[in-house]
Structure 1
Amino acid sequence: MRFIRKAMIGLAALAAVPLAAQGPVAAPTAKKVEAAPLPAAKPVQAANLNATDLEAFLDGFLPYALERARIPGAVVVVVRGDGVLLEKGYGFSDVAKRKPVLPGTTLFRPGSVSKLFTWTAVMQQVEAGKIDLDKDVNAYLDFKIPPYQGKPITMRNIMTHTAGFEESVRYLISNDPKAVMTLKKQMPLALPERVFAPGTTPAYSNYATALAGYIVERVSGEDFDSYIDNHIFKPLGMTHSTFRQPLPAKFVPHMSGGYPDITQKARPFEMVIPAPAGSLSASGDDMGKFMIAHLNDGAGLLKPETARQMHDFKAPGVGPLNSMALGFYEQQVNGHRAIAHGGDTVWFHSYLWLFPDADVGVFISMNSAGKEGAAGAIRSALFHKFADRYLPGGEAPAPIDAKTAKQHAQMMVGNYVTSRGSFTNFLSLLGLLGQPTIGLTEDGKISVPGLDGLGAGARDWVEVAPFVWRDTGTGERLAAEVKDGKVVRWSLDAGSPFMVFEPAPVGTNAAWLLPALIAALAIAALAALAWPTRALVRRSFKAEFALEGKARRAYRLSRIFAWLVLAAVAGWIGLIAAFSADIGSIGGPLDWLIHLLRILTPIAAFGLLITAGWHLVLCFQGKRKWTMKFGAVLLVLAGLVLVWVTLAFHLYGFGMVY
């Protein structure tokens, strides 16, 4: 089910805002610099961070990692202070033409790293007095977002991913240029349901970021793309960057292809429909300029106090774990606080880290997910290996006593649901199929198999404080909130700023429901297939069918509905497969199938339950053999499970916001 979990991962976004009236600090001129050793969080020897050592380090790590992962190309940029330490391309931007990655001109798609531009634009408007971070955002909109539990959404909620929206993919990404639409049209059309009270639960939202971009557009009086051009790209001299879609002709020769892996052909340019959430195309050199601006207190973009407000804010989170700043999110490593953002389109995979205490920034982008999604592990390994070499920390904290650790680990075992997901539409079914679990290793430590792909190595979680675990390989932490002796939520450093996990409700817990669903489908399949098979056997032996009248009619109807159940299942499997292969296919091309399945599924499930129940009653009234009664009971139970799944996971209805 790994492909299903991946299919739910969203893009990132960016919005813009005017700079004219804000009196920004002049943008620094990028220049190559050499640097002294970085300050370590603890008295541990750091390697000398200079261009020579850095290039040797990257050359020893990335080429083999990319080749092993079958990723065609990547760009890496490292800056310090007001200059570039190193920017380098690896591999190919066009495999067929053997065209190398050029950090100065080759464009990559940073995905959700684009959101940092949106948040920068928002803070520009905060400076201009046109946006209040704590005001109901309806004040800036030309449509109304209904309150949830009586509470409105604020821009601070949006920037900390606590607006409470469920995941939305209907208008997310496509290969079709015609799918691109204005924010004015998209925002009311794509409004998702709110499922959490604002400010209470981190739940990553591409829609909310696009909404911020639309607000920037409205208060600035400029369309989003133009605003970014005029107030971010031009002040910083970012001449090889654009949010515009389709890609402007002057950039087409410089655009890297996006690939499934190096053995396959490049795929079409992706259209990120909520543009402020992830439509940026940019060169590595330009991303370096953006990092330099933020490392220098917003120079060229923001006043120093505004930049510090953005960088230093710390939203409430789970225990000691990383949390959101305003737009950026924390990534702690070796005692250093980085502010960062990752980004993924279907084909491009990127990350940006800023270390304010060391005055260092790192950006990487790859043009393929690679073999088994290896791009995620590569960028995680780069982050940790870079920090271990140039920003080393001290000794690991001591573990708590073994008896308590074992008890706490046992309390964590179970199935969970993630706050970043769909809850009120048919895509909630993906949550059942890919429900995260925590188990125990042979030595009684916690194990989170569904999250192993976030790192390059095996996880070894050691409890170092009550309900706080540390991975001995990376230093990343996992922590839980416990109330009345029960775990109520948990997360881990890599996702805690924008996602938490809560215990799966009994009714939708995959521990029992998934086996029950599989058994129900097997029973329905056996009933459906046995019907023609038994008819052929009777014909061969010229035997009479034992049932007549109502009993025969009930039997046959139950088998017809069993076949309808199989047809519905085949349709859902086809939809999930198409969605997993091309996330854009779910946003228009397959609407007919979605409508059909949400009509067919409840008819099949309820029809099976009703007719199987009728058949069961008649079996007892007619005093049929115990084997037929037993089969009828199993079919009724199967129908009950299928009806429950249909209702609990919203496999019905006509709404097209999902």
Structure 2
Amino acid sequence: MNRLPQFVLCLLLSMFVTAATAQIEIRPLAEQAPPKPVPLGAHQLTADDAGAWLDGLMPYGLAKNDLVGAVVVVVKDGQVLLAKGYGHADVATGQPVDPATTLFRVGSISKLFTWTAVMQLVEQGKLDLDADVNRYLDFRIPPRDGQPVTLRELMTHTPGFEETIRNLFASDAQHLLGNAAWVKEWVPGRIYPPGLVPAYSNYGAALAGYIVQRVSGQPFDDYVEGHILQPLGMQYATFRQPLPAALAPHMAKGYAQAGAPAKSFELVNAAAAGALSASGEAMARFMLAQLQNGSYNGAQILAPATLREMFDYRRAAVPGLPAMALGFYHMDRNGQDILGHAGDTQWFHSELALFPQQGVGVFVAIDGAGNGGLRKQLLDGFTDRYFPAPPEVAQPALASARKDGALLVGRYANSRASASNFMAMLGLFSQVRVEQAANGELVTPDFHNLAGQPRHWREVAPFLWRAADGHELLGARVEQGRVRWISIDAVSPVMVFLPVPAWRSAAWNLPLLAIIVLVFALAALLWPVAALVRRACGKPFALTGRARLWYRLSRVAAILQLLLCAGWAGVLARLDANVAGMDSGFDGRLRLIQLVGVLAVLGIAAAAMNAWHAWRVPGGWWRKLNSVALLVACLATLWFVASLHLLGLHLNY
């Protein structure tokens, strides 16, 4: 049998297969970023959609809340998606807000630049996050329970410092101390164990800024400008105070209300904690660098690993509530990781929010004494519109709701507080009361507005409650059957509310205070009234000699006690003006009030002698009773003077 045709056929087939195989080239697909999930019901985040939504929200919000101007910037996928200005930067000249050039005071968002500077020096091996900060200082931070303060604790607001507000702002350039002098002026007491209780601290951030200055060998303003602002091309941004001449014309004027006159430029002594002025588009560059592994337009301000360390670090004070990252705090909502920071000065309110999983960032700044909730409305609305929460299935109440809620019933005080000076008064007047309704729900004041309507909370997980009127969460850290503290998701990374011990409870302290003020008022008022009645009836004053002297001195003591109470009430009323640097005579009035306090305390001796003389004379039960009431009221003031530190020798607060 002839095999040649078969051979030829096999040869041709072999050649065909070889040729075909040679033409096949397998090329792997280019690596692509994983697709970003789009939640069900979400709007597509585009410039047109976001712009139309903002154009509906912002002009109405400004008008409704009597605000002058605002800027909103959104970045996405490595570029500016939109930047919009609303209202006016200067009402008198009609100058509109320009998102590229109009500067806003961004308050505590400044801290993110301070923490970035700290981490740059950590990268260089010049700073250690877990070392005693005294290693880098030319003055000393005393230990607490033998433990020092570390930079990690400063970045997570857990060094244990009490609140510090004295000279936080300056009234004018002549009184501007600057960051370095401010942190050395007074070291606040450490009232909590380090690394344990979150208590937001401007002093801690300012201290970190001074450490940057010390270790880098450059003034803080120069360092940030050279290592962050200039590399990112943030031409319209500065920490310098007063503003450089080239930037001053671009600063938005501050306004209390839309129809009010413009305010002067705010000067912040704690510069590293809150002195940045920046335009919307300048802040966009900073957000883009944070979202792109520390890089923007060829400038690398942080290594990718460093940025991951900042974002990935989590310190949750309350299980189930947002945690603190390194410098950034979580504002998580709708299942999205959201990191950022808010900022407030007297006349400006801002917020920066990063959605790292989505490559999205939002910055808003509003001009006004208050923002009327517009800032929160914008960010919550943005998240709900573009990253809505998945549908929720109604769940039955937890069987543990009544038992768990009962543990929380009581009074709580904010961890951001003072304990060594007269500012302790705020802790008495701002206590939060938690109660339990008949259906097991918790009932609290509005944590954002203690004078607002009560809020109800329903337990959705062990020791985690959701607001009946929204998405907000309240949680508790419970250890060994006792509540360590509670918080809500809006502030849990940086503040908690601690159970108030019985001796500090406003439940009896405030009624006692009201009673003694009433006793002093009656004693002071009835003194001249009794004299007028005697004169009208032609009756002589029954007391003579020393009894008359001590009676009159006891009434003077009552008047001094009233003046002392009125003086401290005035201090609390003017506290905001002092913090903002607008009350230059504040310290002088404090000394005057303390002098009145010393005289009032000495007046207790007069009340005691008056009571002694009253009880020596037979009969006269009215005089006996009111003399004892006045003496007891005077003695009770010693409790408030001591527990609230009303007669401190220093003026540090």
Taking structure 1 as the reference length, the TM-score comes to: 0.89
Correspondence for 2:380: 384
Alignment of 1:203 with 2:199, yes or no, is yes
In the superposition, relative to structure 1, how do residues 637 and 458 fare at CA in structure 2: closer, same or farther (>3 Å)?
closer
Correspondence for 1:523: 519
In the superposition, relative to structure 1, how do residues 583 and 261 fare at CA in structure 2: closer, same or farther (>3 Å)?
same
State the secondary structure of the residue aligned to 1:153. Answer: coil
Correspondence for 2:351: 351
State the secondary structure of the residue aligned to 2:353. Answer: strand
Give the CA deviation at 1:537: 1.4
Give the CA deviation at 1:525: 1.1
Q: Is the 8 A contact 1:179 1:273 kept in 2?
A: no
Correspondence for 2:228: 232
Alignment of 1:657 with 2:636, yes or no, is no
State the secondary structure of the residue aligned to 2:459. Answer: strand
Give the CA deviation at 1:361: 0.5
Correspondence for 2:37: 39
Give the CA deviation at 1:225: 0.5
Give the CA deviation at 1:185: 2.5
In the superposition, relative to structure 1, how do residues 381 and 182 fare at CA in structure 2: closer, same or farther (>3 Å)?
closer
Give the CA deviation at 1:263: 2.0
| Structure 2 Cα separation of the partners of residues 613 and 444 of structure 1 | 51
Alignment of 1:417 with 2:425, yes or no, is no
In the superposition, relative to structure 1, how do residues 460 and 392 fare at CA in structure 2: closer, same or farther (>3 Å)?
farther
Alignment of 1:329 with 2:325, yes or no, is no
**Aligned match for 2:422, one of 421, 426, 441:** 426
Q: Is the 8 A contact 1:565 1:601 kept in 2?
A: yes
In the superposition, relative to structure 1, how do residues 484 and 535 fare at CA in structure 2: closer, same or farther (>3 Å)?
farther
Aligned pairs for 1:621-636 (under 5 A) are 621-636=616-631
| Structure 2 Cα separation of the partners of residues 447 and 258 of structure 1 | 38
Correspondence for 1:221: 217
| Structure 2 Cα separation of the partners of residues 442 and 545 of structure 1 | 59
Q: Is the 8 A contact 2:166 2:579 kept in 1?
A: no
Q: Is the 8 A contact 1:490 1:500 kept in 2?
A: yes
| Structure 1 Cα separation of the partners of residues 116 and 102 of structure 2 | 24
Correspondence for 1:545: 541
Q: Is the 8 A contact 1:315 1:324 kept in 2?
A: yes
Per-residue Cα deviation, 1:590-630 (whole angstroms, up to 9, x for no partner) = 221112222321431x2343332332333222234332222
In the superposition, relative to structure 1, how do residues 473 and 37 fare at CA in structure 2: closer, same or farther (>3 Å)?
farther
Give the CA deviation at 1:89: 0.7
| Structure 1 Cα separation of the partners of residues 394 and 329 of structure 2 | 27
Correspondence for 1:85: 81
Correspondence for 1:320: 320
Which amino acid in the other structure matches residue 278 of structure 2?
A
Equivalent residues, number: 617
| Structure 1 Cα separation of the partners of residues 599 and 391 of structure 2 | 61
| Structure 1 Cα separation of the partners of residues 583 and 145 of structure 2 | 30
Q: CA RMSD in A?
A: 2.3
Identical residues among aligned pairs (%): 46
Give the CA deviation at 1:98: 2.2
In the superposition, relative to structure 1, how do residues 434 and 602 fare at CA in structure 2: closer, same or farther (>3 Å)?
farther
Give the CA deviation at 1:585: 4.5
Correspondence for 1:565: 561
Which amino acid in the other structure matches residue 506 of structure 1?
A
Correspondence for 2:28: none
Q: Which has the higher contact order (CA 8 A, sep 6+)?
A: 1
Q: Is the 8 A contact 1:225 1:244 kept in 2?
A: yes
Deviates more, 1:621-630 or 1:216-225: 621-630
| Structure 2 Cα separation of the partners of residues 571 and 212 of structure 1 | 36
Correspondence for 1:126: 122
Unaligned runs of 5+ in 2: 1-32
Which amino acid in the other structure matches residue 514 of structure 2?
I
| Structure 1 Cα separation of the partners of residues 467 and 94 of structure 2 | 40
Task: Give the 4+ runs in structure 1 shifted more than 6 A.
Answer: 454-458
| Structure 1 Cα separation of the partners of residues 276 and 494 of structure 2 | 21
Give the CA deviation at 1:458: 8.4
| Structure 2 Cα separation of the partners of residues 174 and 386 of structure 1 | 36
Correspondence for 1:21: none
Q: Is the 8 A contact 1:36 1:50 kept in 2?
A: no
Q: Is the 8 A contact 1:38 1:49 kept in 2?
A: no
| Structure 2 Cα separation of the partners of residues 454 and 651 of structure 1 | 25
In the superposition, relative to structure 1, how do residues 491 and 459 fare at CA in structure 2: closer, same or farther (>3 Å)?
same
Give the CA deviation at 1:457: 10
Give the CA deviation at 1:145: 0.9
Alignment of 1:646 with 2:644, yes or no, is no
| Structure 1 Cα separation of the partners of residues 34 and 313 of structure 2 | 29
Aligned pairs for 1:10-409 (under 5 A) are 39-40=37-38, 44-299=40-295, 300-370=300-370, 374=372, 377-396=373-392, 399=395, 401=397, 404-409=400-405
Which amino acid in the other structure matches residue 287 of structure 1?
M
In the superposition, relative to structure 1, how do residues 653 and 582 fare at CA in structure 2: closer, same or farther (>3 Å)?
closer
| Structure 1 Cα separation of the partners of residues 281 and 154 of structure 2 | 29
Taking structure 2 as the reference length, the TM-score comes to: 0.90
Give the CA deviation at 1:634: 2.1
In the superposition, relative to structure 1, how do residues 609 and 204 fare at CA in structure 2: closer, same or farther (>3 Å)?
same
State the secondary structure of the residue aligned to 2:447. Answer: helix
Q: Is the 8 A contact 1:350 1:365 kept in 2?
A: yes
State the secondary structure of the residue aligned to 2:337. Answer: strand
Aligned pairs for 1:473-622 (under 5 A) are 473-585=469-581, 589-604=585-600, 606-622=601-617
| Structure 1 Cα separation of the partners of residues 543 and 319 of structure 2 | 65
Correspondence for 2:21: none
Give the CA deviation at 1:101: 0.8
The higher radius of gyration belongs to 2
Per-residue Cα deviation, 1:313-367 (whole angstroms, up to 9, x for no partner) = 0024111211210100011101111111001001100110001111110111001
| Structure 2 Cα separation of the partners of residues 453 and 572 of structure 1 | 23
Give the CA deviation at 1:51: 0.4
Deviates more, 1:349-358 or 1:430-439: 430-439
Give the CA deviation at 1:92: 1.2
In the superposition, relative to structure 1, how do residues 44 and 233 fare at CA in structure 2: closer, same or farther (>3 Å)?
same
Give the CA deviation at 1:267: 0.9
Which amino acid in the other structure matches residue 572 of structure 2?
I
Unaligned runs of 5+ in 1: 1-34
Per-residue Cα deviation, 1:486-522 (whole angstroms, up to 9, x for no partner) = 4331011111111111111222211211121122111
| Structure 2 Cα separation of the partners of residues 294 and 479 of structure 1 | 30
In the superposition, relative to structure 1, how do residues 380 and 645 fare at CA in structure 2: closer, same or farther (>3 Å)?
same
| Structure 2 Cα separation of the partners of residues 494 and 585 of structure 1 | 28
Give the CA deviation at 1:460: 4.5
Deviates more, 1:614-623 or 1:440-449: 440-449
Correspondence for 2:8: none
| Structure 1 Cα separation of the partners of residues 446 and 561 of structure 2 | 30
Which amino acid in the other structure matches residue 152 of structure 2?
R
Q: Is the 8 A contact 1:38 1:48 kept in 2?
A: no
Alignment of 1:437 with 2:433, yes or no, is yes
Q: Is the 8 A contact 2:577 2:583 kept in 1?
A: no
Which amino acid in the other structure matches residue 657 of structure 1?
N
Give the CA deviation at 1:455: 13
In the superposition, relative to structure 1, how do residues 507 and 482 fare at CA in structure 2: closer, same or farther (>3 Å)?
same
Which amino acid in the other structure matches residue 466 of structure 1?
P
Which amino acid in the other structure matches residue 640 of structure 1?
L
| Structure 2 Cα separation of the partners of residues 239 and 122 of structure 1 | 22
Which amino acid in the other structure matches residue 647 of structure 2?
Y
State the secondary structure of the residue aligned to 1:337. Answer: coil
Per-residue Cα deviation, 1:409-462 (whole angstroms, up to 9, x for no partner) = 344333211110111101111221222222456865323324144999985422
Aligned pairs for 1:456-467 (under 5 A) are 459-467=455-463
